[in-house]
Structure 1
Amino acid sequence: MMNRLPLLVCAGLPVLLAGCALKAPPASVDAPAPTRWYASAPAAPTIDAAEARLPHGGVVTDLSQWWQQQNDPLLVELIEAAQIVSPNVASAHARIEQSRANAVAAGAALIPKLDLNASMNRTNSQPPLPLNTTSQVALQPSWEIDLFGANRATNRAAIVRYQGAQANWHDARVAVAAEVANRYYSLRTCQKLVEVTRSDAASRSETARLSDLSMKAGFEAPANAALARASAAEANGRATQQQALCDIDVKAMVALTAIDEPVLLSKLAASSVPATTPGIVIDSLPAQTLVQRPDVFVAEREVAAASAETGSAMAARYPRLTLNGSIGVARFHSAGVATDLQTWSIGPLQLSLPIFDGGRRAANVDAARANYESAVASYRGTVRQAVREVEEAMVNLQSTASRSDDARTAVDGYRNSFEATEARYRSGLASLMELEDARRMRLASELNAVTLERERMQAWVALYRAAGGGWRNPDQNANAAVATSLQSSSGTSSDSSDGLKK
């Protein structure tokens, strides 16, 4: 009995120690998320218990459906084309595969490992002993009994980082959609600016022609005719420069979508430019929309991963218990006689107790805790930055909406003033200087109106980006729930979720 006491102590010690709970830091922490938005918006924002934790609900097809709200099929087509060829999306997908492999490897450490070993040995001994051959095949299982959860913590960290890689993939897709939309709206407004500058150039050319005729007839001073020609030349140069900017936007769109330039130009020509680009209606913007932002999601997952890694580092300071075994068959052949053997063993049951390592494991725990604190600070800072970006986008959106009516009023007023001044000039009641001043103010107001429209669409895209890839209002959530219920009752199923979660 006395000889068995050390063995019992060694076997019971890990069990007793396993009862001591390792207190790792919490896997989730609070962040200063707002309960409401303070920037003015088209409608007062409300709080909606959003369940989505990834952009567009984590469903690939929802992204194109969201952009279909713009009623511009070409924009949706360009976004889908850019998604396919984007190197950032491809890189993010590769990181998903890497994270998945890491998660599989971490999970494999929790289950027993089984190896197959085969060997053959031929021995020549001194006479009179004959030659002999030994062959052996054995299955060798091994298992580290995760007493203190080190491997489980590592597995949790790998899983949450895999989830973060998924979010980064969605972030890449949302970024591509926003970049394409911004470039597309820039191109469309550039085309409108070309129309404005060409119309202005034509008007100035006509004034120059009439001034030249008047000068030749002796009714206009040569200086006025020269001024009219200079004004026409300036307008032509402005129109040429604006067309060059549009050509640059086309080149950028070709690079984004990998669509051949002639094909893209034909698509742009076939798709008419709307007089005003429709906006996305906001009934309410849920404050919890922030949680679907990929950077917020990743930062939150990083806190959970750092917590798990801290627990793993703490568990590394406690004993490790491993169990090995072997099941095999062997054949011994010598002097024409073969002997078959079957062997099996359980053990050794090995206990490894760290005693002295120069403070390495304690330092690892301190480093893991510091990394955790850094992850918490980064998470809270990311949430604050997200709030700022949403607020700024809504301020810009409200500002452009408020200025739109004034811009249209200014265009109408300056246009009427120019037309009246032009009529007076042709009747000889207004000077060329008055006409050019009226023309300059009309042109500035028209350019400002088109530029303001581009700012408005950029603000929409910025809000889409800041919200993490769109949002759903409470009525949209209700409609989606009704549609899901109807699909379930009719026995139909949607396969849209199959496209994600990679």
Structure 2
Amino acid sequence: MYTSRCALWRTTLRLCAIGLTIALGGCAVVGPNHAQLETKTSSAWQAPLPHGGQVAALGDWWSQFNDPELTGLQRSAESDSPTLAKAWANIEKARATLTSARGSGLPAMNGQASVTRGTQQTGEVATARSAGLDASWEIDLFGKIRRSTESAQARAQAREDDWHDARISLAAEVADTYVQYRACRLLADAHAQELTSIGKTVKATESLVRAGLNASSDGSLARASLASTTSAGLAQSAQCELLVKSLVDLTGRAEPQLRDRLASGANRIPQPGAIDIQSVPAQALRQRPDLASAERELAAASAEIGVAQADLYPSISLSGSINVSSVSMASSQTTWSFGPTLSLPLFDGGKRKAAVDSARAAYNAAMADWRQSVRTAVKEVEQSLVRLNSTASRTEQAERAAQEYRLHVVGIEAQWRAGSASLLDLEESRRQALAAQIELIGLQRDRVEYWIALYKALGGGWQSHTPAMSPEDLDSLSKTSP
């Protein structure tokens, strides 16, 4: 009996030694090893580069608008953004998952202790005390834990990239809405100026009608033009109000305070500086956090194949326990146990094999998502470049048209006062001038919006390994920024 116990003990020690040697010496890690993917894109942008590709940094691009109100709105949006708060919560959740995955590869220990007091059959009062310690450690033979940690780490990095993408999108949305608001106010001013001019025409026409110098139909035409322009002006003012509501939603500012700040700013469309777009597509796309996130999701899916494959193989865990107990003043008793546990997957109806197939399918889906994201990114940049080039040429022509139409109105109005032109001619020239002015303002607005779209398409100045910021840090940054 003693000999058999010694043999069992020696066998247990050998298994423990083998397990420790494997664990410390490095085990075979099953599953594919993810490598950084190369984007297969053209060597140069196909669309024309605005301003000849003049170089300017993306990181401080917003400051080049030279519009303190825009900068202030963006700071407010960042400091109180539910979108960024949610993105940060997702980062914390992913980091907690990573910590849990890492902890799975470390020994686990649990302790317990108890004290009870009671009456025995003899009538004596006895106190029972016990304490114990349990420990277990799963040896990562085939890299299941390491692959799980690798997957969790990749997803934590993806969530940080998502935060940066959300921040860039928020900045672009605030800027886009602000530009629309400034353009809207300019359009409202154009309608107001036109209303003032038409109001004078109505008064003059009614005087001529009463004097019998003009037909009554001229008075009707003038009043119809006034009503039509008034309606258009009211619709434009309503659009401006809607944009204010959008800015309140984006920034979290109180509406009265926001209106005061907007009223104090210059009533113009802010103009940005140029952007560095000379780099080839592959270089530019490495600056997009959404593509970085997609690549990290692909890495996580690759690691999960290894997790599923490791489940096909045996697993070994070491466990042990020690307990000490005593009753009243009696001597204490100590019991202990220690040894390995071997788990062999024998039959599961194909469940583990199906898990591997599922993990491979998830990887293929992630690969397809990444490839589509790259194509979409290239398309967004190319389209932004085309739109910028088109609006630049159209804006020049629109400026010339608006100037000529204004001169035409002045000439026709002089002829009308002299009696050599009809009111119909004057109103037609006014409508043409107003339409030209509206088109010009719209093109100026669109051009800035396309600059903002290009900024977003190029990644907004993001650089890899840039740390994300908590809501508290963003709030502090907003308070310390000028």
Aligning the two structures, in what range does the TM-score lie when normalised by the shorter sequence? 0.7 to 0.9
Give the corresponding residue for 2:68.
Answer: 73
Within the candidate set 334, 340, 358, 1:367 is matched to: 358
Whether the 8 Å contact between 1:31 and 1:379 is mirrored in structure 2 is no
Within the candidate set 275, 282, 286, 2:275 is matched to: 282
Give the corresponding residue for 2:143.
Answer: 149
Give the corresponding residue for 2:108.
Answer: 113
Give the corresponding residue for 1:101.
Answer: 96
* CA shift for structure 1 position 131: 7.4
Give the corresponding residue for 1:31.
Answer: 39
* CA shift for structure 1 position 6: 7.9
**Residues 319 and 147 (structure 1), Cα distance of their counterparts in 2 relative to 1, 3 Å cut:** same
What is the CA–CA distance in structure 2 between the aligned matches of 1:46 and 1:249, rounded to whole Å?
A: 32
Q: SS state of the match for residue 111, structure 2?
A: strand
Q: SS state of the match for residue 330, structure 2?
A: strand
Within the candidate set 259, 276, 292, 2:287 is matched to: 292
Trace 1:85-484 onto structure 2 (pairs within 5 A): 85-120=80-115, 133-274=127-268, 276-286=269-279, 287=281, 288-327=283-322, 329-333=324-328, 337-341=329-333, 345=337, 347-470=338-461
What is the CA–CA distance in structure 2 between the aligned matches of 1:206 and 1:220, rounded to whole Å?
A: 16
What is the CA–CA distance in structure 2 between the aligned matches of 1:16 and 1:294, rounded to whole Å?
A: 39
* Aligned residue type for 2:46: Y
What is the CA–CA distance in structure 2 between the aligned matches of 1:262 and 1:233, rounded to whole Å?
A: 31
Whether the 8 Å contact between 2:81 and 2:252 is mirrored in structure 1 is no
* Aligned residue type for 2:365: S
What is the CA–CA distance in structure 2 between the aligned matches of 1:427 and 1:395, rounded to whole Å?
A: 48
Deviations 1:7-61 (A, max 9, x none): 799679877998655242534433334432111121556999x9xxxxx8xxxxx
Whether the 8 Å contact between 1:119 and 1:136 is mirrored in structure 2 is yes
What is the CA–CA distance in structure 1 between the aligned matches of 2:181 and 2:188, rounded to whole Å?
A: 10
Whether the 8 Å contact between 1:110 and 1:146 is mirrored in structure 2 is yes
* CA shift for structure 1 position 361: 1.0
What is the CA–CA distance in structure 1 between the aligned matches of 2:284 and 2:276, rounded to whole Å?
A: 14
Trace 1:37-56 onto structure 2 (pairs within 5 A): 37-43=45-51
* CA shift for structure 1 position 121: 6.1
What is the CA–CA distance in structure 2 between the aligned matches of 1:362 and 1:420, rounded to whole Å?
A: 85
What is the CA–CA distance in structure 1 between the aligned matches of 2:199 and 2:323, rounded to whole Å?
A: 99
* Aligned residue type for 2:227: A
* Aligned residue type for 1:465: K
Higher mean displacement: 1-10 or 321-330: 1-10
Higher mean displacement: 393-402 or 131-140: 131-140
Higher mean displacement: 39-48 or 24-33: 39-48
What is the CA–CA distance in structure 1 between the aligned matches of 2:267 and 2:371, rounded to whole Å?
A: 43
**Residues 437 and 88 (structure 1), Cα distance of their counterparts in 2 relative to 1, 3 Å cut:** same
What is the CA–CA distance in structure 2 between the aligned matches of 1:34 and 1:471, rounded to whole Å?
A: 22
Within the candidate set 21, 30, 39, 1:22 is matched to: 30
Give the corresponding residue for 2:79.
Answer: 84
Whether the 8 Å contact between 2:15 and 2:340 is mirrored in structure 1 is no
* CA shift for structure 1 position 148: 0.8
What is the CA–CA distance in structure 2 between the aligned matches of 1:240 and 1:96, rounded to whole Å?
A: 46
* Aligned residue type for 1:111: L
Q: SS state of the match for residue 117, structure 1?
A: strand
Normalized against structure 1, the TM-score is what? 0.83
Normalized against structure 2, the TM-score is what? 0.86
Whether the 8 Å contact between 2:31 and 2:307 is mirrored in structure 1 is no
Whether the 8 Å contact between 2:160 and 2:468 is mirrored in structure 1 is no
* CA shift for structure 1 position 328: 5.1
Q: SS state of the match for residue 341, structure 2?
A: strand
Give the corresponding residue for 2:479.
Answer: none
* CA shift for structure 1 position 500: 6.6
* CA shift for structure 1 position 216: 2.2
* Aligned residue type for 1:463: L
**Residues 33 and 110 (structure 1), Cα distance of their counterparts in 2 relative to 1, 3 Å cut:** farther
* CA shift for structure 1 position 342: 5.5
Whether the 8 Å contact between 1:36 and 1:47 is mirrored in structure 2 is no
Unaligned runs of 5+ in 1: 51-55, 57-61, 473-495
Q: SS state of the match for residue 111, structure 1?
A: coil
**Identity value in percent:** 38
Whether the 8 Å contact between 1:89 and 1:169 is mirrored in structure 2 is yes
What is the CA–CA distance in structure 2 between the aligned matches of 1:28 and 1:464, rounded to whole Å?
A: 25
* Aligned residue type for 1:90: A
What is the CA–CA distance in structure 2 between the aligned matches of 1:19 and 1:374, rounded to whole Å?
A: 29
* CA shift for structure 1 position 245: 1.5
How many residue pairs were aligned? 460
Unaligned runs of 5+ in 2: 474-482
Q: SS state of the match for residue 292, structure 1?
A: coil
Whether the 8 Å contact between 1:43 and 1:283 is mirrored in structure 2 is no
* CA shift for structure 1 position 133: 4.8
Whether the 8 Å contact between 1:38 and 1:391 is mirrored in structure 2 is yes
What is the CA–CA distance in structure 1 between the aligned matches of 2:223 and 2:91, rounded to whole Å?
A: 63
Give the corresponding residue for 1:490.
Answer: none
What is the CA–CA distance in structure 1 between the aligned matches of 2:54 and 2:409, rounded to whole Å?
A: 46
**Residues 330 and 11 (structure 1), Cα distance of their counterparts in 2 relative to 1, 3 Å cut:** closer
**Residues 20 and 266 (structure 1), Cα distance of their counterparts in 2 relative to 1, 3 Å cut:** closer
Higher mean displacement: 349-358 or 408-417: 349-358
Q: SS state of the match for residue 284, structure 1?
A: coil
* Aligned residue type for 1:457: V
Higher mean displacement: 79-88 or 38-47: 38-47
Whether the 8 Å contact between 1:36 and 1:46 is mirrored in structure 2 is no
